[in-house]
Every structure is written in structure tokens, then in C-alpha cells.
Amino acid sequence: GEDVEQSLFLSVREGDSSVINCTYTDSSSTYLYWYKQEPGAGLQLLTYIFSNMDMKQDQRLTVLLNKKDKHLSLRIADTQTGDSAIYFCAGDLGASYSGAGSYQLTFGKGTKLSVIP
């Protein structure tokens, strides 16, 4: 099976860039995802990257994928207090695909981002 690892905490000052890192053990993922969870809420899909891409930019978000090192990162430019949340990376697995109609994801444990005003 696949492990997806993230550091648990990150603290940055408002206006700085945040970089949240994720490593995974299985390179068969086709898509990798970043989710955001605000306190007491569900997970919100932020962005995703296809495994044949190295980088994807979406407004303040930049996703970098290094397949050789099995490393995924999410950079948030000009971090705001509203970005304070837990961020999860998740990947699909060829091995976890259980047939038509289902698509299992493996999630990291989440990185809690705290933005200091």
C-alpha cells in the first residue's frame, strides 16, 4: 500500500509564501490532489495535478511534482489569515482502483497551517 506523509504543522506570517510538502511511497498515482479543511468543516478540493506534469499554477496556488523523488508541494503566495486551515494531499493508486465507479484516494494526515497577522 501507499503511505502519504506530511509535516503536521506550518506557521507563516501574513503576506509571506507558504510551502506545504508531501511525500508518497508509491509512484503509480495518476492524479495527486490538495484539499483544504477549515475548522469544523468538510474537505474542499483546492487543486490537482496529473502525474505527467511537473507544475500547475492556479491563481495564488502553485503545485510542484517531482516524480523521481516522489515529492509533491503546494505553494500559497501572499498567504492570508483566511488560508489558516489543515491541508491534505491525496493520491490515487493503480492498486486501489477497485473497478468501475469507484476511485479510492490515500490521504496524508494533514498539515495545519497557521498564519500570523
Q: What part of residues 74-103 is at the interface with other proteins (CB under 8 A)?
A: 88, 90, 92, 97-103
Cα distances from 90 to residues 13, 23, 77, 80, 113, in angstroms, run 26, 10, 21, 23, 17
Rounded to a whole number of angstroms, the CA Rg of the chain reads: 14
Of 59 and 98, CB closest to other proteins: 98
Q: What part of residues 20-59 is at the interface with other proteins (CB under 8 A)?
A: 31, 33, 35, 40-45, 48-50
Q: Residue 61, interface with other proteins (CB under 8 A)?
A: no
Question: Distance (Å, rounded) from C-alpha 45 to C-alpha 47?
Answer: 6
Of 58 and 78, CB closest to other proteins: 58
Cα distances from 85 to residues 3, 104, 107, in angstroms, run 22, 24, 16
Residues that bind other proteins (CB under 8 A): 8, 31, 33, 35, 40-45, 48-50, 88, 90, 92, 97-105, 107-110
